[in-house]
Amino acid sequence: MKRIILFCLILFLTGCTKSPSVFTMVERADTGIRNVHYPITKVKKVDEVLNSYVNEVYQIFFTHHANGKYLCPELNIDYIYQHLEDRYLNITLFTYILDEVNHPPIDDVFSLFFDKSSHSFLSLKEVIKEESWENFSSLTKVKFQQQLPSFQEQEIQNLAFQIEEEVFSLYFVHEEELFTVTFPLDAVPLKFSFEPSPTPQEKIIPVSNSIDPKLPVVAITFDDGPTDYTNEVLQILKENDAVATFFVLGNKVEMYQNVIRDLVKNGSEIGNHTYNHKWLSRLSEGEIRFQIEKTQEKIKNITGIAPKFLRPTYGEVNQKIRRNTDLNIALWTVDPKDWKQKSPQKIASSILDIVEDEDIILLHDNHKRSVSALKILLPELKKQGYQFVTLSELTEVKRIREGKFFP
């Protein structure tokens, strides 16, 4: 049943999306956590293959969970996406499962390389120059055998592979463990030459928001975006002279760089919500730093501004996280549970019933119902005399109030 629901939701979003975007599903339950993130390309043949893989993983996961294989699990599907020369799509999906019994985590990987001109999928061998294949295979085998002595050369043709800006990566899963070999991109004998798309370098000058520290303030925050709904959120904020703080995932920043830049231009703030929403408190210190620092880098490359705030996934904070970041940890004071509550009116009402001065409200911009709730919430908060502030502005308001810097 869950597989059917997921598949229908994917088809719905694919049909509604006018340009490449990211499918996002974040589910929380007493039995565990599921995070799914991957591209919707608008190329039917590609999207069907991606959907099929995700549904297969999802079904296997729930079958194993029902059989008691996983206890309090985390399922995370992440991706790398490259659109090359407006002709080729290279996408890799990474599956990660963490549970209380099976350690280390369970990994899987799937990649595709699609030529839109010929409307065909290409294997690793088909993207390497024929005259270079033998040497490339030999070198690849040596590099994999340094990590996994049992690796055999016949595995090479079926390896998952991904082109990035300066790196060519090869992936192999053995006994549920992921092994990776990388080459400098310019050292790989590809049949095609690729130039990475430049990141826009226009300097962003944020709007300066006028705030009276003597009047009540409220900070609205959004997690798990950006998504196809985020631009609609921005328009609602504009209509109500409001700003918010958006805790974004690093793996979605490039795909949604235009809306992120527009958010900053209009006075909102961007925060760090990790790279791919893994359960941060359960990761090693090195993995925690990767999740935070890679996201910082992605956001700064797009906006020119490094985030000041980190919102750990699921609001869980421990000393291991605090040791590995200088960012301010930002939680919340009002949670309408919009990830679970289906009614926009009930989401808005649950906030309005308890909201107070200096509250931090948690919402998610990957749910249409949350966007609808925002349309109800903002005008009512304005009627009650609230000013809308970012978390940085809320911090400054508190500092001014504590210092009594106004008459």
Residues with a known catalytic role: 223, 364
Return the percent helix, strand and coil in the chain, to nearest 5: 40, 25, 35
DSSP H or E stretch at residue 109: strand 106-115
Q: How far is CA 46 from its chain centroid?
A: 20
Beta-strand ranges (E) seen in 116-233 are 120-121, 160-163, 167-174, 177-184, 217-225
Task: From 322, 317, 347, select the one nearest 335 (Cα to Cα).
Answer: 347
The dihedral of CA 143, 148, 152, 155: what is its sign?
A: negative
Q: Could you tell me the two tokens for 199? A: 């990141």
The structure tokens 């088909």 sit at: 126
Evaluate the CA torsion angle 97, 47, 194, 298 in order and state its sign.
Answer: negative
Question: CB–CB of 345/207 below 8 Å?
Answer: no
Measured CA angle at 108 (ends 107, 111), to 5 deg = 145
Range list of H helices, 183-304: 230-239, 257-265, 285-303
